[in-house]
Structure 1
Amino acid sequence: MRATDLSELAAFEAVARHRSFRKASEERGVTASAISHAVSNLETRVGIRLLNRTTRNVSATDAGAMLLAQLSPALRDIGSALDALNQFRETPFGKVRINAPNSIAPFVLGPVMGELIRDNPKLELEIVATDRLVDIVEDGFDAGIRLGESLREGMVAVKIRPRLRFAVVGSPAYFETKPIPRSPADLTAHVCIRNMYPSGAFYPWSFARDGEAIDVEPRGPLALHDHELMVEAALAGIGLAYIWEARAKPYVESGRLVECLQAWCPPEDWLYLYYPTRRHMSAGLRAVIDAMRV
């Protein structure tokens, strides 16, 4: 098999798996037109249409679906065989794509990126930070990071650092007109900056102490899904924000924000790096896990 044949097959597999030329091009690090050209060449060579294309959708034909079912495991085996060569290198080689929630990525990946690149100069890290719920298999990631929530079957989860906790903060100017809350029940008398998922759904502020758990539905005129914007809103005195303590820390230490309800904000569940069971763990991913695991 020629190298061009394998490249065309890999391009087709990426498009069929993602159902998108754009996503396939992003995964393979080439232009969408190059991916389209490779797939067209493959279809011309085999004499069969493998993909149905419209202006909005891409889907595999029956022949394409059959090829994809056999091709995906074969390409994984090839990738595993190539990655096995890492044992003959001093450091891991290749690309590792990681997805992480935007709100926690700086605290999880920030402390380890420099060390990973310095210690593994032939390693390429691609990190996509988004609070959108991502299917790491469909979107071509090697691994993802989430809080200790249930993961779908077929995933391996590795506990990683750090363990985060939420904090309730407000500006000194805000507390000039409002008393500092002493318990979650006091929040009913406060203006709160509501936390919103990218989908538009709201999530409660969760508290716990001495075995007692309380969820509060915050009330206020402003709803945000970005923690940086929540910090800015709290600094502006709009209301109280419920954000990661690590994000609030520099502002609390400088006196620009005041933290409250500390006794009611225990650490969250552990964070986990997860990856598909069936996917061979590359030397690069192993290096990432070793740098992050508890």
Structure 2
Amino acid sequence: MRSGLTEFEAVLAVARLGSFRAAAAEMEMSTSALSQSVASLEARLGTRLFHRTTRSVRLTEAGERFVAELAPAVAGIRDAVDRAGEEATTPSGTLRLNSSTGAARWLMLPLLIPYLERYPNVHLDLVTEERMIDIVREGFDAGFRTVDTVPGDMIAVPLGPPIRFAVVGSPAYFRAHGRPKTPADLAGHRCIRARMPAGHIYHWEFERHGEAISIDVEGQLTLGQPDLMREAARAGLGLTYLTEFNIAEDLAAGTLERVLDDWTPPFDRLCLYYPGRRHVPAALRALIDLIRETG
């Protein structure tokens, strides 16, 4: 059975005010239109809701039962509509984001913490993993990845400067084994190899003066997590190849040192990406605006 909310509100207004004319004025309708709306609902229900005379209007027994059950339902609908309208304009609710671990670490202080401070009614659910996923299928509102890995059907919002990779090792490793001067020198060094989420071994990429080199380095340790690669390098097990935002704290503290700097130019930028759709949640729109505001 199809019933319009206007008909329900008309019944409730007449029951509360005891007058079709007063109810029509409250709802900004003509008396005849409101009367017809109530009559149409009665016809579909197959029962009379009001006793009408020229002097008074009162609920029938069936009308009293109907109004008692209808009033809280309509109030709930009104509240749901109001909340939906507020959420469309006011950042609130849960924002689910997917990111690599390194990107999340890099973004936490300059972007995500200020975002949460600005929008206290937003709950941020940040899931970190190295594998690329279908964020729509797995229920995320958006993700953070490098521009070159974002699917073509997504909207990408670049943030921050271009990303650089770095070859790093511990001071103890360099004291024991020396420092490579060119990528070719890596053949004489122990390297910590990276297994990508898809399963293949990552080849370290270098470029200088237009010369591009890709090297499948050798080493006794292969890992699939940047955090583990960083820990192994700190322990002196070999050289590793990671993004700057994965090892920024170590470089600043001196627990890792960089080599082959002139062979690792900037590559792609990090970006927020999300599905191209008509209605972007207010919480996500606020994050996009903050990214653009902070550059």
- Corresponding residue number in structure 2 for 1:263: 262
Shift of 1:223: 0.7
Shift of 1:242: 0.8
1:224 aligns with 2:226: no
Structure 2 CA distance for aligned equivalents of residues 102 and 250 of structure 1: 14
Q: Is the CA contact 2:204–2:241 (under 8 Å) kept in the aligned structure 1? A: yes
TM-score, length-scaled by structure 1: 0.67
Shift of 1:82: 6.0
Question: What SS does the corresponding residue of 2:101 show, helix, strand or coil?
Answer: coil
- Corresponding residue number in structure 1 for 2:275: 276
1:110/1:119 CA distance change after superposition, 3 Å: same
Q: Deviations over 1:136-170 (max 9, x none)?
A: 11001111121121543431111122532111111
- How many residues align? The count is 215
Shift of 1:254: 3.0
1:231-270 residue pairs with structure 2 within 5 A? Answer: 231-270=230-269
Structure 1 CA distance for aligned equivalents of residues 98 and 257 of structure 2: 32
Q: Is the CA contact 1:83–1:282 (under 8 Å) kept in the aligned structure 2? A: no
Structure 1 CA distance for aligned equivalents of residues 81 and 162 of structure 2: 32
Shift of 1:256: 2.5
Q: Is the CA contact 1:145–1:271 (under 8 Å) kept in the aligned structure 2? A: yes
Paired residue type of 2:225 = D
1:65-214 residue pairs with structure 2 within 5 A? Answer: 84-86=85-87, 91-149=90-148, 151-214=150-213
Structure 2 CA distance for aligned equivalents of residues 288 and 282 of structure 1: 10
Whichever of the two has the greater Rg, that structure is 2
Structure 1 CA distance for aligned equivalents of residues 211 and 274 of structure 2: 34
Q: Deviations over 1:191-236 (max 9, x none)?
A: 1000111343211111112222111111101011212211211121
Shift of 1:287: 1.0
Q: Is the CA contact 2:147–2:156 (under 8 Å) kept in the aligned structure 1? A: no
Structure 2 CA distance for aligned equivalents of residues 290 and 260 of structure 1: 37
Structure 2 CA distance for aligned equivalents of residues 197 and 162 of structure 1: 24
Aligned residues with identical type, % of pairs: 42
Shift of 1:177: 2.9
Q: Which runs of 5+ in 2 are unaligned?
A: 2-79
1:190/1:80 CA distance change after superposition, 3 Å: farther
Which 4+ stretches in 1 moved above 4 angstroms?
79-84
- Corresponding residue number in structure 2 for 1:289: 288
Paired residue type of 1:200 = G
Q: Is the CA contact 1:103–1:226 (under 8 Å) kept in the aligned structure 2? A: no
Structure 1 CA distance for aligned equivalents of residues 115 and 224 of structure 2: 30
Question: What SS does the corresponding residue of 1:177 show, helix, strand or coil?
Answer: helix
TM-align CA RMSD: 2.4
